[in-house]
């Protein structure tokens, strides 16, 4: 019987343990989930597919356009009527002597002949464009550009998603680190409160000292509650962003560790410019404007095509009839040349505007990279200062603890020293998280 209980206990443990197991995720795993599940990423992929379909649609313009149609009718009356007037109709009697003059007549009554009361007509046409002013070629190039633009925008969207994922990820990591700090601070205050209460009972300190420690402990507990609420909201927002159900037990594996310096990642801004998706989009915008000008110019050039047409026809009780026809067309938009000259001038002006935007925005991208580098290096300097401040605050705590034990300082000074140390620890955590995010931002704006 004991063996049966043992197996039941094993089965129950196998069922229950996964329910309480912690979900541990790395930064790379979170990034992959964000790219797969984020709605913005999904929409970017759909836009690429839509642009691909536009390109495929433009390709069909190289092939003949085929159309077909037909008509069947049955009318109450004939659609066409031919009336013949009555009268005497000369008749030849067969005698050669009477060939030059009429000797006999036959009366011909008036009549009306109708036709097309019912009928069936069907046709099919195929027209192959021979020359369209280059519009088909340029239209296909524009469609291909549209697909490239969608792909570049998808890359920009992914970069934005990855950066925001990192920001939220390291925010939660930093909050977890602060939780450890505040827990440690709480333990120290609880220990100090016990010491101060014993000292008060022994008559060594005033009750005011006990109240000061209790007040500081209450303040820490309040801050701890706020921090816990902040962690919960941050986790909820993070889970929603990467597309997973909220899990209060979610644990992030990475820690705030600074193992490198900014100089390891520096690149010349002008060299990195060509790696930027934004720069590629600017280049494409110039190319697209040029193609649109060529498309507009093609509207005022002669258009030519050849075609083949087939016709089936059956009217009333007549026989079926089919007709085939080969034809060619030429169209010259003469009346549009005057207005077209102004439209082409407009297109040239827009090309110049695009060139100016290309130059201006390229310079702004370089400025963005320079600023990102400054933010990156400033974040590293802030980290070094925070490290130094923590060491000084730690030494200050030791001095004050020794002074308090020896009765040289009061409990207020000790509380202030420990609060300062806890504050420097929080600042160090923030500076580490900020450094990591600034590094990611710099890598992103330099096309890496």
Question: Which stretch of 17-31, 223-237, 257-271 has the lowest confidence by average pLDDT?
Answer: 17-31
Q: Which range has highest mean pLDDT (114-128, 137-151, 364-378)?
A: 364-378
Question: Which stretch of 140-154, 306-320, 336-350 has the lowest confidence by average pLDDT?
Answer: 336-350
The token pair that represents 108 in the structure block: 């011909």
d(CA 25, CA 249): 11
d(CA 65, CA 323): 20
Residue 272, Cβ density class (10 Å: 0-12 exposed, 13-18 middle, ≥19 buried): buried
What band does 31 get if pLDDT is binned at 50, 70 and 90? very high
CB distance 411 to 205 below 8 Å? yes
The token pair that represents 316 in the structure block: 């009333």
Query: Which three-class secondary structure state does DSSP give residue 380?
Result: helix
d(CA 135, CA 422): 70
d(CA 215, CA 119): 103
Residue spans of the domains in the chain: they are 22-64+120-445
d(CA 444, CA 159): 7
- What's the CATH fold of domain 22-64+120-445? Outer membrane efflux proteins (OEP) (1.20.1600)
What number of CA atoms fall less than 13 Å from residue 431's CA on the CB side?
A: 21
CB distance 213 to 185 below 8 Å? no
Model pTM score = 0.76
d(CA 333, CA 45): 41
The pLDDT value recorded for residue 84 is: 72
DSSP secondary-structure letter at 319? -
Q: What are the residues whose beta carbons fall under 8 Å from the beta carbon of 372, sequence distance 6 or more?
A: 438, 441, 442, 445, 446
Q: How many CB atoms neighbour CB 30 within 10 A?
A: 25
pLDDT in tens, 57-82: 998 888 898 999 999 988 888 777 77
pLDDT in tens, 421-443: 999 999 999 999 999 999 999 99
Backbone angles phi, psi at 106, to 5 degrees: -125, 135
Identify the H or E element spanning 105. Answer: strand 104-108
Q: In terms of Cα–Cα distance, which of 61, 124, 121, 111 is closest to 85? A: 111
The token pair that represents 9 in the structure block: 């206990």
Which residue would you say has higher pLDDT here, 335 or 328? 328
pLDDT in tens, 381-393: 999 999 999 999 9
Provide the edge-to-edge strand list for the sheet that holds 303-315: 65-74, 118-131, 303-315, 321-331
- Residues forming beta bridges with residue 307, ordered by sequence position: 127, 327
Q: How many CB atoms neighbour CB 194 within 10 A?
A: 11
What's CA 54's distance to the chain center, in Å? 18
The pLDDT value recorded for residue 18 is: 42
Q: How many CB atoms neighbour CB 116 within 10 A?
A: 15
d(CA 179, CA 227): 7
The pLDDT value recorded for residue 148 is: 93
What band does 319 get if pLDDT is binned at 50, 70 and 90? confident
- What HEC string does 3-51 produce? HHHHHHHHHHHHHHHHHHCCCEECHHHHHHHHHHHCHHHHHHHHHHHHH
- Residues forming beta bridges with residue 127, ordered by sequence position: 65, 307
The pLDDT value recorded for residue 202 is: 82
d(CA 262, CA 377): 6
What band does 122 get if pLDDT is binned at 50, 70 and 90? very high
The answer on pLDDT for 368 being more than 60 is yes
d(CA 293, CA 296): 5
Which residue would you say has higher pLDDT here, 379 or 110? 379
β-strand 321-331 against 303-315: which pairing, if any? antiparallel
Summarize the confidence of residues 137-149 as an average pLDDT: 92
pLDDT in tens, 223-235: 999 999 999 999 9
What band does 106 get if pLDDT is binned at 50, 70 and 90? low
pLDDT in tens, 188-204: 999 988 988 988 888 87
The answer on pLDDT for 93 being more than 80 is no
Q: Please report where in the chains the tokens 């599940």 appear, as a residue.
A: 37
Q: Please report where in the chains the tokens 């290096």 appear, as a residue.
A: 377
């Amino acid at each position: 019987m004991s063996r049966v209980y043992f197996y039941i206990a094993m089965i129950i443990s196998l069922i229950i343990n996964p329910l309480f197991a912690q979900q541990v995720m790395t930064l790379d795993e979170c990034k992959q989930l964000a790219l797969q599940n984020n709605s913005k990423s999904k929409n970017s992929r759909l836009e690429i597919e839509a642009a691909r379909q536009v390109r495929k649609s433009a390709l069909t313009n190289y092939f003949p356009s085929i159309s077909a149609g037909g008509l069947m009718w049955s009318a109450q009356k004939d659609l066409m009527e031919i009336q013949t007037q009555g009268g005497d109709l000369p008749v030849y009697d067969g005698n050669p002597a009477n060939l030059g003059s009429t000797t006999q007549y036959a009366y011909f009554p008036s009549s009306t002949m109708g036709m097309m009361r019912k009928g069936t007509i069907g046709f099919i046409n195929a027209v192959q464009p021979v020359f369209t002013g280059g519009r088909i070629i340029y239209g296909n190039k524009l469609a291909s550009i549209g697909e490239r633009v969608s792909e570049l925008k998808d890359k920009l969207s992914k970069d934005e998603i990855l950066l925001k994922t990192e920001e939220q990820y390291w925010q939660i990591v930093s909050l977890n680190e602060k939780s450890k700090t505040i827990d440690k601070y709480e333990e120290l205050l609880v220990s100090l409160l016990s010491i101060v209460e014993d000292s008060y009972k022994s008559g060594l300190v005033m009750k005011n000292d006990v109240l000061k420690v209790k007040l500081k402990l209450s303040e820490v507990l309040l801050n701890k509650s706020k921090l816990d609420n902040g962690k919960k909201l941050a986790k909820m927002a993070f889970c929603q962003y990467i597309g997973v159900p909220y899990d209060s037990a979610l644990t992030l594996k990475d820690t705030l560790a600074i193992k490198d310096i900014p100089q390891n990642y520096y690149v010349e801004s002008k060299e990195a410019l060509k790696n930027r998706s934004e720069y590629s989009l600017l280049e494409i915008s110039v190319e697209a404007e040029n193609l649109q000008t060529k498309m507009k110019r093609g509207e005022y050039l002669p258009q030519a095509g050849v075609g083949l047409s087939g016709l089936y026809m059956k009217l009333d009780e007549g026989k079926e009839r089919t007709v085939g026809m080969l034809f060619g067309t030429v169209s010259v938009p003469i009346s549009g040349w005057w207005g077209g000259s102004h439209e082409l001038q407009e297109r040239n002006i827009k090309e110049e505007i695009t060139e100016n935007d290309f130059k201006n925005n390229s310079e702004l991208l370089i400025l963005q990279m320079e600023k990102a580098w400054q933010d990156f290096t400033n974040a590293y300097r802030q980290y070094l200062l925070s490290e130094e401040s923590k060491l000084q605050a730690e030494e200050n705590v030791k001095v004050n603890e020794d002074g308090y034990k020896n009765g040289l300082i009061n409990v207020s000074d000790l509380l202030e020293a420990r609060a300062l140390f806890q504050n420097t620890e929080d600042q160090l955590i923030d500076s580490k998280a900020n450094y990591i995010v600034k590094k990611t931002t710099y890598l992103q704006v330099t096309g890496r």
